[in-house]
Structures are given as structure tokens and as C-alpha cells.
Chain A
Amino acid sequence: MSRISRPRTSRLETLYSFALRLYPEPFRDRNARSMRQAFRDGLSDSSLSRRALISLVLRDLVFSLAKEHLAMLRDTYARPTLIFNAFVLAALSTGLALALYAIPQHVLRAGANDPQIAIAGDLVAKLAQGFPPADAIPAGRVDIARSLSPFVIVYDDQGKPLASQAELNGTIPALPPGVFYNVRQHGEERLSWQPVLGREHGVRIAAVVLRVGGPNPGFVLAGRNMREVESRIGDVQEMAGLTWIGMLVVILVGTAVFGWYTRPKAA
């Protein structure tokens, strides 16, 4: 039985044909036959050694594969419509993520005032009935840096504390004078109050300040440490941030897939 060995050139051509499959499809469809023919012509060219041809083709494969794939990626993804759509979707998802943060943040912060509104209103009514400030406020002290309990402070008409449940570092915290001015103008102020400035102190109070009328005018402040509420707002921020990143990843992957399936077939 005789065994017919295929010529070496055929093996090389077969290998080269396999290598041609690495090129992007549109390029391969246009040029694979001509490239195989050029390789075949090179094999039969006596002026070019086999070794020189193989070396040339290997170098060419490395560089031209990279170049054609980059060109294909550019043709596939650098389309104005595709990029514009991706930017619009990214902008929408950014707006949605901001809303996902801003709405619950507003609701949580506004809700943090609820007990203080009632407490301050009741205290104003009591003071208006003529109760002395020291008798009108609930008994006991509240360390506002540690406790989450609501507290009240009664101020005279000049903003000087008359009676207080609250203490911070052993003293009654001072309210900024501008707050009294605003309450005189509008009757009420709801604010986030940081009694000691500086991030390291970290005490922030959800405060409601009401005007006390009558023969002994003054002000009532009802407040509560915002630590718990701010922790919840931080959770909302984290969830909104993760949702935003998730939406951007979905847009990125979706754009990549859509771009690939709608890529120009003939570059």
C-alpha cells in the first residue's frame, strides 16, 4: 500500500488558511481568497526563501490582525448614533439615580423633624399659659452628642437660654443668632444644626425653632440627634450609587452588544 504524502506547501497553505480565520469577518470575506493566493504566489517565488516568507507572514499576521481588529472596533463602535444613544441613556440613568437618592433623602430628613414639631408646639402652648420655663420642660438632661432622644431648650427674647434639657460637653449649646432673626420674621424655622462646627465633632441636630408670643416672648427649640437618620440617608446614597453603576454597566454591555449586531457588514 503506498502512502501519498501531501506536499509541504499544502500544509503551509492550510495553516495560513486557519490563520486567516482570525481576521474580522468582513475583512476575511473580502480578502481571504486573494491573501491565500498571494501566499501561494510567495511559496512559488524562487527569489524569496521559504524561511523569509514564513517570517514575513508571521510578522504580518501579528501586526495586521491587531490593525484590522482595531479598525473593526472603530467601525463598530465609533458610530455617532450609537455613541449619542449611549450618552442619552447614561444621562437618563444619572438623573434617575439622583432622583432615587434625592427623594428618599428629602423624605427621611423631613420625617426627622416630626416629633420635634409636636414637642415644640406643645411647649409653646404651655409657656403661653404662663408656666415658668423650668417647669414647662420635661425633667432630666439629654447629652445631645450621644442620646437620640428629643430635647428642648427655651430662650428669652434675646436668645439667652432660660431652661434646657440639652447639654453638650457640659454646657447648653448656643444657637446661631441668625436663627432667632429668621424666627422673628417667619415664626418658625426648621434646620439641621451643628452646635460645634467641624466635621470631627459630628453632632448634627434636626431642630425646630418656634416663636413664643405673649407677655414673655422668646423662643423654643426642639431637637434630636440626626445620627440614625443620617445613617439611613447614607444607606439610600449607597443604594442609589450602586443602582447608578449597575445601570451604566447595563448600558455599556447593551451598547456593546447592540453595536456588534448592527455593525456595518462592509467596512
Chain B
Amino acid sequence: MTTETEPAAPLSPAVFAILLSLAPGEEKHGYQIMKDARTPEGGGVQMGPGTLYGSLDRMMRDGLVEESGFSDDERRRYYRLTVLGDSVLIGELRRLAAAVATARSLGLLAKGQRS
């Protein structure tokens, strides 16, 4: 069962995009995550290798992601979400969903319009 953990503060765009990219439970390497993050569905975050690996370092330190140990290439490292990372992502998504619902109720977003 996934428990929801509210992040202490809104996540940075890079951290949110990385969590979102790894959310389906897949193990992904760095460039895959960068590519996912660039797409509108992945957050639309233009992230280079420095930002990606700096963020992954800090996320591993905070226990949000971990290296899976799998490697198809010596130079590629694969990452996956931890239980904590999963719950932090859900917490952030709920926070954003509540903000979107408020925006809709204020008429800032038409009902059914994608934010």
C-alpha cells in the first residue's frame, strides 16, 4: 500500500519531473529521465545532465530514489522510486490537483480544460 507523504515544500520542477518520470515503477537511466521531463506530460522541464545528476544525488540522499543496480552499459546507471519517493510524488500531485480545482472554481480554467 502506498502511503501519502506531504512534501515539506513544493518540489522543484526538476525533482517533480524526475519523480514523475520514474512513477510508473520503471527503472530508467539518466537520458530517459531527461527525455521524459522535456515532454509536456512529463512536466516540460528542460533539464541538462548537470541538473539531472545533481538532483538525483540529493534525491538519493533524501531517500526518494535509488539506483536499481541494473545496467545494460557500464556507463549507464538506472534509477527507481523508493516508497518514500512514491508517496512524496502523490502528495505533490494532490497539492497540485487542489490548486487546479481552486483555479477551476474561480473560473481561471474552463472545466475539462487541461491545465
A contact set with B: CB distance below 8 Å: 23, 27, 30-31, 33-39, 41-42, 45, 47-48, 56-57, 59-61, 63-65, 67-68, 71, 267
Contact = CB atoms under 8 A, between A and B. Distances in A.
20 contacts: A31-B49, A31-B53, A34-B29, A34-B30, A34-B53, A34-B76, A35-B49, A35-B50, A36-B75, A37-B29, A37-B75, A37-B76, A38-B49, A45-B31, A45-B35, A48-B38, A59-B46, A67-B50, A67-B54, A68-B54
B83 interface: no
Contact of B48 (A34, A37, A60, A68): A60
Contacts of A56: 46, 48
A67 B54 CA distance: 8
A258 to B, nearest CB: 25
Nearest to B48: A60
B49 A60 contact: yes
A55 to B, nearest CB: 9
B21 to A, nearest CB: 13
A68 B53 CA distance: 10
B31 A30 contact: no
A54 B76 CA distance: 21
Instruction: Please tell me the size bucket of the interface on B.
Output: 20 to 34
Contacts, number: 73
Contact of B50 (A37, A61, A267): A61
A9 B111 CA distance: 48
Interface string B39-56: 000000011111111100
A63 B52 contact: no
A59 B31 contact: no
Nearest to B75: A37
Given A68-B54, A71-B54, 14 more contacts: A33-B75, A34-B30, A34-B76, A35-B30, A37-B73, A37-B76, A38-B30, A45-B31, A60-B48, A61-B48, A64-B51, A67-B50, A67-B54, A68-B50
Contact of B54 (A36, A39, A64): A64
A185 B49 CA distance: 84
A48 B38 CA distance: 10
Contact of B47 (A36, A47, A60, A65): A60
